[in-house]
Amino acid sequence: MNDPQIEKLQKLLAANNLGGAEDLCRKAIDRNGNDVNMIALLGAILLKSGQLDEAERRLQRAITLAPKFGKPYDDLAVLYLRRDEFQKAEAMFRKAITLLPDLGSSWLGLVHALRGQGNLTEAKNVCGQILARNPNDVDAMRLMAAIASDEGLVPAAGRLLQNAVDKAPDSVKAVSDLARFYADHHQYSQAIDLFRRAVELEPRNPEFYFSLGRYLFTVGIPEEALNAYDAGLALDPKSRYGQSGRSHALRALGRTEEAIAGYRACIQEGVNIGESWWSLSSLRTYTFSDDELEQMKSFRQADNITASDGIYVDFALGKALDDRHQYDEAWQFYADGNKARRMSVCFDRAQFELEIDAIIATVDATVVARGEGVEPQPVTPVFVVGMPRSGSTLIEQILASHSAVEATTELPYMVGLARRHMVAENANTPLAIVELGAGELADIGNQYLRATKLHRLESKPWFIDKMPDNFLYAGLIAMALPNAKIIDARRNPLDTCVGNYRQWFATGKEFAYDLDELGDYYLQYHRIMRHWNDVMPDRVLRVDYEDVVENTEKEIRRMLEWCELSWENECLRFYESERVVTTASSEQVRQPVYKGAVGFWKHYEPYLHQLIEKMRPVTG
């Protein structure tokens, strides 16, 4: 191999011209079949271009010709990592380290191989050796953080990632890792700031724009999310995440026709097909044509359909047939979709009941009274709690039409704070809430309000948090935020359960995919709300969906009075509001109240005998 060849090869690789580099190597090997350098380089090039089978053969040939040539072992180890053949990868990385002890990539690769086998102790030891040699090795810090996460040591993982960013603020890998860490733990403000930083560091990476868009959408800022998706799509127009995310943002902004066009384009282009069919079906104002219905059915029957797409389409077909009043056929699709979805989630109804037992046994009127020493805050949060599909978005839309009230979204912050104090490690451990004094309760309230600032763009004196799960923690809410208003959104129990069963949820709501578990969950919700009414009878306002439908103005006046808000006619014309709505009811709440959803469960009565029996204690 002469110098001109080397220079040419280096130029081709620098330009990422893998095809040209591959051709040059093959020609050299044709001239000299034992040219170990060219064979090893060809193996590395094939590895980079994803031609793994031939890459493996070439690298093994290089090792046979030159057993003490270290780099082919490292490349072969990377190949095995890609195939998840972790034991083989470990062996090759260890050989590479023996021959080239200063090759940092082999040390890091060895950590990946050990972690892939679940050998976290040894992986951590190797990371420690790397950091002992170079305390500023950012990649080793990132791996140590990943191991800490594997071990459930979440705070330690966060500290390691923060340290990596502090050491290398311009490392896009470290910045994006920390951004994802914050996002995974619902610290969206920090995540968004870091994804913005990642975009600055690597402005040609579309994934950072899509991640930024996703979390801007999550916190209820769809206009900025749309801008981020557009920027990402300019770099990667075929991205499945970008196209779907952009359509979701358009929908939230009320640009429904554009959203529909986006979902249809995804289907036509084969991008997130199942999710796009479901997204169209979940538009309450959308009606499928006969051709679309047949197209969905054909897609559902395809041999190569993925499990995820199958679930999406089952729910979409259920909704499409539901709209056509073909309830028997619709139910079969709902049943199939729920059964498949239930297999992919975990809900422990016994554990859930034990958690509620512990709260009821612990948080009595005496404990709740400890909140009397907490000073009211200058802002008033309105918590709309209850079961999903119980009219909470309608209540939010009504209240948010008031000039003093700002809507946010389903905020995760109170759930995160409450679970530290209202969930025991085991049956013998008392709930920490019993130890909280006025100062600690005030701190919880302050932490919550600080976290919600990201969502309160208009800084109005009232804001709405409509996370349904907060019903579990109404006691802590009342204690930590003495001026908070809590509204329990109720709906006929059977309508509620059927509404959940007909809904595909993106995350959480693991209880919703089995009718028997749904019924149990509802009964536990009913039980703890009865407890809150007993121990703090003046802190929770129950609002029944059926009453809002039947006596809309009366119920609106009642809610406004409860929240200590003056009457405004805009609340009665809530459907004219142009505010952003990101939940499943986004189109429905842009229409006047209608009675069609009341008693809807009766369409499916033949399939509900067991549920009807289970719910008799709360339905009469």
Contacts within 8 Å (CB) and 24+ apart, 537-540: 539/474, 539/478, 539/486, 540/474, 540/486, 540/487, 540/488
SS3 content of the chain, % helix, strand, coil (to 5): 70, 5, 30
End-to-end CA distance of the chain: 89
**Beta-bridge mates of residue 541:** 487
Do 82 and 52 meet the contact criterion of CB atoms below 8 Å apart?
A: yes
Helices marked H in 100-185 — which ranges? 104-116, 120-133, 138-150, 154-167, 172-184
List strand residue ranges (DSSP E) for 426-521, in order.
Answer: 462-465, 485-490
pLDDT band at 593 (very low <50, low <70, confident <90, very high): confident
The pLDDT, as a whole number, for residue 219 is 87
Considering only CA atoms, give the Rg of the chain: 29
The pLDDT, as a whole number, for residue 576 is 86
Quick: pLDDT tens for 409-426. 899 999 989 988 998 767
Share of the chain above pLDDT 70, in %: 96
Would you kindly state where each structural domain of the chain is located, as residue ranges?
349-545
Number of helices (H), then strands (E), in the chain: 32, 5
Alpha-carbon distance of 310 to 288, in angstroms, equals: 18
Question: Which two structure tokens, joined as six digits, stand for 601?
Answer: 């469960």
Alpha-carbon distance of 13 to 47, in angstroms, equals: 13
Contacts of 4 (CB under 8 A, 6+ apart): none
The count of residues in the chain is 620
The pLDDT, as a whole number, for residue 2 is 54
Question: Which two structure tokens, joined as six digits, stand for 13?
Answer: 């690789």
Evaluate if residue 586 carries a pLDDT over 60. Answer: no
Helix (H, G, I), strand (E, B) or coil at 374: coil
The pLDDT, as a whole number, for residue 285 is 84
Do 62 and 69 meet the contact criterion of CB atoms below 8 Å apart?
A: yes
CATH class of 349-545: alpha beta
Evaluate if residue 580 carries a pLDDT over 50. Answer: yes
List the single range of 188-197, 302-311, 542-551, 574-583 with lowest mean pLDDT: 574-583
Quick: pLDDT tens for 143-175. 999 999 999 899 999 999 999 999 999 999 999
Quick: pLDDT tens for 264-281. 999 998 888 999 999 999
- Mean pLDDT of all residues belonging to the chain: 93
Residue whose structure tokens are 């290089």: 62
Evaluate if residue 577 carries a pLDDT over 90. Answer: no
Q: How far is CA 244 from the centre of its chain?
A: 15
The pLDDT, as a whole number, for residue 592 is 72
pLDDT band at 5 (very low <50, low <70, confident <90, very high): confident
Evaluate if residue 396 carries a pLDDT over 50. Answer: yes
The pLDDT, as a whole number, for residue 48 is 93
pTM above 0.75, yes or no: yes
Q: How far is CA 583 from the centre of its chain?
A: 14
Helix (H, G, I), strand (E, B) or coil at 226: helix
pLDDT band at 579 (very low <50, low <70, confident <90, very high): low
The pLDDT, as a whole number, for residue 1 is 45
CB burial readout 102-131, b (16+ within 10 A) else e: ebebbbbbbbbbbbbeebeeebbebbeebe
Give the pairing type, strands 405-407 and 462-465: parallel
Question: Which two structure tokens, joined as six digits, stand for 413?
Answer: 């912050």
Quick: pLDDT tens for 301-343. 999 999 999 999 999 999 999 999 999 999 999 999 999 999 9
Q: How far is CA 559 from the centre of its chain?
A: 32
DSSP 11: H
Quick: pLDDT tens for 233-257. 999 998 888 999 999 999 999 899 9
Quick: pLDDT tens for 431-454. 899 999 999 999 999 999 999 998
Distances (CA, A) of 113 to 24, 482, 542: 32, 52, 55
Quick: pLDDT tens for 349-378. 999 999 999 999 999 999 999 999 999 999
